[in-house]
Amino acid sequence: MTKKVLLVDGMALLFRAFYATAMSNYYMINSKGVPTNAVYGMVKHLFTAVREYEPTHVVACWDMGSKTFRNDLLESYKANRSAPPEEMVPQFDLAKEVTEALNIPNVGMAGYEADDCIGTLSHHYREEAEVLILTGDQDMLQLLEPNVSVVLLKKGYGNYAEYTVERLHEEKGITPKQLIDLKAFMGDSSDNYAGVKGIGEKTALKLLHQYESIEGILENIEHLTKGQRGKIESDLDMLHLSRDIAEIRCNAEVYHSLERAVFDVNEERMAEKFNELEFRNWRKNLL
């Protein structure tokens, strides 16, 4: 049997599910006063993807605290983000309890982001299984390889943009690794790093098509327009720093054997957890 492993970006599913219902103040608060809307929606996203892609193995990856090695590189990394809404806070641990009840391993490592855990595991698993990364984060496209695909969540449930190395090249004309250099130029306002001021996606893509990498561009900097050259030279340190921040690490010290990630839900254990959380109509709406 061909092995197919689904690597789940737990935080991406959880936040997407939370905001989908929180916009209308629908938090699904149970009799214990605990909001469950994010966890319920996360499970719905998960089961919808499982039905669609029929993985043989599933692993969920999580951020472990707010500080990572990227904060050591740049103190202000993600400093512009506000604290999560109070209704969200108790659902972080609940989400992990639920995946555990579904016999899905939870993987995370202090000092690294979920992205790095997913990158590392996809590197481990790609030799023996087809790898699908389920996320809402386009940064994950840098992890694309011949045996690794990225499934981006779109609006609603069951709507996906499926990316392979070929599709990325068709759309942007670049390789997954060149995406890191693209991000280095563009920066990321949501993560609070600047890139090169005045160089956006269009110009960065044009330069990468022509010179392939940051190194190639710098080696040919005299051929650039005066404006491009000036912008790059004045932000050179930030360009290199931004690339370091943008690159998903695939060498985090996390490992989880595929044998322990076989997707095999214990119906009784699942029912007990869903009923404990007071998920209404879960048999009809989730499975």
Q: Does one domain contain both 58 and 78?
A: yes
pLDDT in tens, 188-239: 988 889 899 999 999 999 999 999 999 999 999 999 999 999 999 999 999 9
Q: Does one domain contain both 164 and 182?
A: no
Give the C-alpha distances (Å, rounded to integers) separating 217 from 71, 183, 244, 247. 28, 15, 17, 18
Looking only at Cα atoms, what is the longest distance across the chain? 68
Q: Does one domain contain both 232 and 158?
A: no
Strand blocks (E) in 91-212: 106-107, 130-135, 148-153, 160-163
Residue 23 has pLDDT above 80, yes or no: no
Q: Does one domain contain both 24 and 135?
A: yes
Closest Cα to residue 265, out of 101, 133, 105, 134?
Answer: 101
Structure tokens at 41: 């929606």
Give the C-alpha distances (Å, rounded to integers) separating 207 from 141, 241, 256. 20, 19, 39
pTM for the predicted model, two decimal places: 0.95
CB-count exposure of residue 93 (10 Å: 0-12, 13-18, 19+) = exposed
Higher pLDDT, 279 or 5: 5
**Residue 204 confidence (pLDDT):** 96
Domain around 96: 4-170+248-285
Structure tokens at 89: 């806070």
Instruction: Work out the average pLDDT over 13-18.
Output: 94
* Side chain identity at residue 124, one-letter code: H
Cα dihedral 172, 173, 179, 184 sign: negative
Q: Does one domain contain both 120 and 211?
A: no
Q: Does one domain contain both 71 and 203?
A: no
Q: Does one domain contain both 258 and 152?
A: yes
Structure tokens at 170: 């068709």
d(CA 84, CA 82): 6
Q: Does one domain contain both 214 and 141?
A: no
Instruction: Work out the average pLDDT over 73-98.
Output: 90
Q: Which residue's entry shows tokens 């996606």?
A: 201
User: How many structural domains comprise the chain?
Assistant: 2
CATH code of 126's domain: 3.40.50.1010
Instruction: Report which DSSP code applies to 151.
Output: E
d(CA 6, CA 50): 8
pLDDT in tens, 224-234: 999 999 999 99
Both ends of the chain: CA-CA distance in Å? Answer: 24
Q: Does one domain contain both 128 and 68?
A: yes
**Residue 79 confidence (pLDDT):** 83
Q: Does one domain contain both 68 and 8?
A: yes
CATH code of 224's domain: 1.10.150.20
Q: Does one domain contain both 8 and 95?
A: yes
Residue 83 has pLDDT above 90, yes or no: no
d(CA 282, CA 47): 11
Structure tokens at 263: 């997707």
d(CA 264, CA 103): 7
CB-count exposure of residue 104 (10 Å: 0-12, 13-18, 19+) = buried
Q: Does one domain contain both 58 and 147?
A: yes
